[in-house]
Chains A and B, each alone.
Chain A
Amino acid sequence: MNAIIVSALLGVILMFCSWGFKSESLQKNIALVGLLVLIAANLAQLNGWYVLDINTKGMLSFSRFGLYANTILFVLTFLYLWINAEEIEAIGHQAADFYALFFFILCGASILTSFDNLLMLFIGIEILSIPLYILTGSDKKNLMSNEAALKYFLMGSFSTGILLLGITLCYGAIGSFRLEAPVIVPSKGMAYEQYLLSAGLILIFAAMNFKVSSAPFHFWTPDVYDGAPTVFTSFMATIVKAAGFIAFIAVFHVQSKALGYSWELLLTFVIVSTLLVGNITAVFQRSVKRMLAYSSIAQAGFMLFALYGVSDFANEGILLYAVVYSVASIGIFAVLVKMKDYGFEAFNGLSKTHPLLAFVTTIFLLSLAGIPLTGGFFAKYYMLNAILTAGAGLWVVIVAVIFAAISVYYYFKVIQAMYFVQGSPAIKELPKTYTYKLLVLAIVLLVLGVFPNLLFNYLYF
């Protein structure tokens, strides 16, 4: 509860900051301090200190997992803002407006980590999505940004309609919006309630797939990620996606039993097609930004493994995956922001002119590819373990590993351009500290690659 209320309040405060304080560095500092306050408020609740304790009548329930996931999302946002604040200031008129939108998104995310009622799922997703439509279209004069915003908005509200129909059909079948509502058992043969429930759950599944951009509901992703300003793509592809997955898991760890065997079939189909579409299409991209958009679809395929069944591996794995994937993506997008154009050639010879930057970029890419000693390896390992523990066929794991190997190809194309191709990189002027900030992200990845347990200890104690 603390996180939801404090983030909404901070959003309002930031909204007025653009009117009260004109200095953008002051606005940035207010946002960063606000994030620290938010993290502190959330940690207070994690340690049993409820500042704002409201009886939500079973609409929300605060588990340790949800609160910890909140903390992770907030810390990731802090890192994101700390690195990208300058670029955000360069886009709009007043950076504080964007910071306010970030806080509203975080409010939605903290509802998504704690909902216990499908009504709150709907509200959380909408609070998360509506500011994102604005962020996508924030580059008002740029036609690409306009197009991405309109596409994202139309697709997003279309999927909201589907989600709502799904929730309604589930309600028609079981008479409650509670997440733990008893699953109906048809009394005489195949009563129509069973059809309603199955149809409803499948529609919810489709809509959630839409939100986390897994195939065959991924069509909007490359265009939107490509068209949106790069800093905001970075936010969409990481923190928002992680929050979407946590909500996705919360719904289907509870309700997937109602679908029986067909659930596994459905999920396996989505996982395999996501991995296929994401990885194969990424191979043929000529722009790094678009390649990263497809690679984020491919990574979503791995994150879907956590849905397969309830296990410690699934819960730990999704958190680890969220952190590792987000940190690496924030890093690589932060490098991309500084590039003059987004082709692979822009990276040519980066290791000669900016050796440290090339080194941290390599670590981000290795982590995305899942090479040992970086966090990406353990993230993928936990996910594969989760799906095996849940009793999936071995062939799914084999397919996943093959696609992970394919992904190495397109990630290494960037590394190859940086280290083995002569040329001068098309890179903008870098502030001195920028590379060091990215180095912090790389160190996080390396530490998690050796001690992934560091992340989970707080989940239990």
Chain B
Amino acid sequence: MPILNYIYLCLTLFSIGVIGVLVRRNAIIVFMCIELMLNAVNLLLVAFSKMYNGTAFANAPATTIGIDAQIFVFFIMVVAAAEVSVGLAIIVMMYRNTHSVDINFLNRLKN
């Protein structure tokens, strides 16, 4: 399958994430949409990795070209986990004070 299809798929997923962040009002859902963005990126990285690896593999079967993208995916997953832990803590802290996870709460500082 040509790489462009993967790019279109990942950009679609990423855009769904972005639109979700912009449109939804529930902090948890916004958070899920951000995770969707990160996972779209992960998918694209793996696709690119396979693309470069496949090209190099035809010439030299013992190649490691393209491996770095897969390592990158692991780092993204680890960092996303760290971010989730902090983010959920912040959302819980907000819930304790306001009993709601609605983003519309975020307007106290405007004036």
Cβ of A146 and Cβ of B90 under 8 Å apart? yes
Q: List B contacts of A126 (CB < 8 A).
A: 79, 82-83
Give 7 nearest A-B pairs by CB, closest first: A161-B37, A223-B109, A164-B41, A172-B48, A126-B79, A146-B94, A149-B90
Which of B4, B38, B75, B82 sits near A161, CB closer than 8 Å?
B38
CA distance A426 to B72 in the complex (A): 52
Cβ of B90 and Cβ of A123 under 8 Å apart? no
Cβ of B34 and Cβ of A164 under 8 Å apart? no
Instruction: Scan A306-342; emit 1 where CB is below 8 A from any B CB, else 0.
Output: 0000000000000000000000000000000000000
Known A-B contacts A119-B75, A161-B41; A144 and B27 likewise in contact (beta carbons under 8 Å): no
Tell me if A97 counts as interface (CB < 8 A to partner B): no
User: What size tier do the contact residues of chain A reach?
Assistant: 35 or more
Known A-B contacts A153-B87, A154-B30, A168-B44; A227 and B37 likewise in contact (beta carbons under 8 Å): no
Instruction: Scan B3-27; emit 1 where CB is below 8 A from any A CB, else 0.
Output: 1100100000010011001000001
Report the nearest B residue to A178, measured CB to CB. Answer: B68
Report the nearest A residue to B7, measured CB to CB. Answer: A172
Which of A4-12, A133-141, A449-457 lies at the interface? A133-141
CA distance A150 to B18 in the complex (A): 17
Known A-B contacts A122-B79, A154-B30; A165 and B106 likewise in contact (beta carbons under 8 Å): no
Report the nearest A residue to B37, measured CB to CB. Answer: A161
Cβ of A165 and Cβ of B41 under 8 Å apart? yes
Tell me if A19 counts as interface (CB < 8 A to partner B): no
CA distance A167 to B73 in the complex (A): 12
Cβ of A172 and Cβ of B44 under 8 Å apart? yes
CA distance A134 to B88 in the complex (A): 11
Cβ of A154 and Cβ of B31 under 8 Å apart? yes
Cβ of B14 and Cβ of A150 under 8 Å apart? no
Known A-B contacts A164-B41, A172-B7; A143 and B86 likewise in contact (beta carbons under 8 Å): no
Which of A119, A150, A172, A177 sits near B106, CB closer than 8 Å?
A150
Report the nearest A residue to B105, measured CB to CB. Answer: A147
Tell me if A64 counts as interface (CB < 8 A to partner B): no
Q: List A contacts of B18 (CB < 8 A).
A: 158, 161
Known A-B contacts A122-B75, A171-B69, A175-B52; A150 and B90 likewise in contact (beta carbons under 8 Å): yes
Cβ of B68 and Cβ of A177 under 8 Å apart? yes
Given contacts A122-B72, A133-B90, A161-B14, 13 further A-B contacts (CB under 8 A): A119-B68, A126-B79, A137-B93, A144-B108, A146-B93, A147-B109, A149-B93, A151-B106, A164-B41, A168-B48, A172-B48, A222-B109, A223-B106
- A395 nearest CB across to chain B (Å): 34
What are 24 A-B contacts with C-beta separation under 8 Å?
Answer: A123-B79, A130-B82, A133-B87, A134-B86, A134-B89, A137-B93, A141-B97, A143-B97, A146-B97, A146-B98, A149-B90, A153-B87, A154-B27, A154-B103, A157-B34, A160-B83, A161-B18, A164-B38, A165-B14, A168-B44, A171-B45, A177-B69, A177-B72, A223-B110
Report the nearest A residue to B17, measured CB to CB. Answer: A161
Q: List B contacts of A345 (CB < 8 A).
A: none
Which of A153, A167, A226 sits near B109, CB closer than 8 Å?
A226
- B82 nearest CB across to chain A (Å): 6
Tell me if A148 counts as interface (CB < 8 A to partner B): yes
- Interface set, chain B 56-111, CB cutoff 8 A to A: 65-66, 68-69, 71-72, 75-76, 79, 82-83, 86-87, 89-91, 93-94, 97-98, 103, 105-106, 108-110
Q: List A contacts of B89 (CB < 8 A).
A: 134
Cβ of A150 and Cβ of B97 under 8 Å apart? no
